[in-house]
Amino acid sequence: MKKSILRVLTGVCVLSTLTYASTLRVSVPAYAESTKPAFEKIVADFEKANPGIDVKLEVGSWSSWQQKLQTDFFSGGNADLIYSTRAWVPTYAAADKIVALDSYLSNSDKAQFPASLLEAAKVNGKLYALPSVTSARNLYVNLDLLKKAGATVPTTWAQLQETAKLVSQNTDAYGFGIQGKEVEMEKYFYYALWNFGGSVLDKTVGGTKSALNSPAALKAANYYNDLIKNGYSQKNVTSYNREDLQELFKQGKLAMMITHGVLAEQISSEGHNINFVQTDVPGMVKGKKGITLGVIDAVHLSKNSKNKEDAVKFLMFSVKPKYQADWIAKANLLPVTIEAGKDKAFEAKHLQAMISAVPNAKFAFIHAKSTKIIDILRNELQAIYSGKKTPEQALKTAHKKINRAARK
């Protein structure tokens, strides 16, 4: 009899343990080879500190990440916590696939992040994501090519055009690289657009009207188009993504391009003999820094998650400075919490160059129709870069299509 009671009690204990066990799925795109082992460490430490929570980690490729998330959301097979780009957050929020984090985070949780980053992650005033990584872009300049061409490091857009001309005419290299396809292709246009005083939409967040009919937008499009037509950029621009341009620079075949800190690290780690400087994006007036691109990736909480509190607990655990130093610095990106920014891991020269650019960084617009708007802009920019349309024709088409898309 006693043994029977003992078996019953033991069974109750086991059932109780199973009942209260929590399983989380966390989906993360790979920023670098270090991403997966770094997150495996975070998961192991978190599970040790929280024995009742089991974390299932999924790490995938950025190149197919958007398609994966769309498929997962459509099928209902999405993870509890999802890391993605800030640009997709409004789309998921509008589709009611993610929830606002405001009620799940304490004031002390929010205080760990710079206010500007939290503001940039909001949609219609609600915090639908937390920043996961951030970065800013720099102008990379091959000093040996400029010396050979008799040119100087440009600090204005007029000087950049002259420098690109001198390099193209006096060396075997291309002057200024222009990205013509794939991830961030449209953002490469923003450097000229923003510095000439333009924007894509009438508002940074939630704008419903295109601003591409402005003189500033036409000036920016003409600027890039002139570089291409005059041979001051690489040939066949629309066949180059960001990584292709970086390869040209590492091979000494490109004098200037704008990109993030990973290029500096690659030049060093891969043993390229390039004498270069990582400097500010040009401005309009000599002596004044130009506007650069600031990028925030984000992590959001799925609406259909059955373990939202535990998911947020994991999220806040993962932003401890030691973990950010482990995976973010190794990916040549910048931390998102104030305390992590003090870590020695971010003292590397190429990371400091990005940090110095942050005060002059501007974030790209976010909108519920961001994906559609970006597709429209990319298509019309490619039409300009390939010579199929004039800047006037392409911008007119983009303006009309974006107006329709933004209002739907």
pLDDT of residue 10: 46
Query: CA 160, CA 178: separation in Å to the nearest integer?
Result: 13
pLDDT of residue 20: 56
Q: Domain-by-domain residue ranges, the chain?
A: 2-134+295-359, 136-293+366-407
Q: 177: helix, coil or strand? A: coil
Same fold, 2-134+295-359 and 136-293+366-407: yes
Pairing outcome for strands 276-279 and 122-123: unpaired
Query: CA 148, CA 164: separation in Å to the nearest integer?
Result: 12
Tokens (6 digits) for 306: 């059955």
pLDDT (tens digit, 0 to 9) for every residue of the chain, 408 residues total? 444 444 444 444 444 444 457 999 999 999 988 899 999 999 999 999 999 999 999 999 987 898 999 999 999 999 999 999 998 899 899 999 999 999 999 999 999 999 889 998 898 899 999 999 999 999 999 999 999 999 999 999 999 999 999 999 999 999 999 999 998 999 999 999 999 999 999 865 556 799 999 999 999 999 999 999 999 999 999 999 999 999 999 999 999 999 999 899 899 999 999 999 999 999 999 889 999 999 999 999 999 999 999 999 999 999 999 999 999 998 999 999 999 999 999 999 999 999 999 889 999 988 888 889 999 999 999 999 999 999 999 999 999 999 999 887
> The whole model's pTM is what?
0.83
Nearest residue to 228 via CA among 263, 192, 200 = 192
pLDDT of residue 204: 58
pLDDT of residue 3: 46
Name the architecture of domain 136-293+366-407.
3-Layer(aba) Sandwich (3.40)
Query: CA 355, CA 381: separation in Å to the nearest integer?
Result: 30
Query: CA 328, CA 215: separation in Å to the nearest integer?
Result: 39
The top-level CATH class assigned to 2-134+295-359 is: alpha beta
Tokens (6 digits) for 315: 């999220």
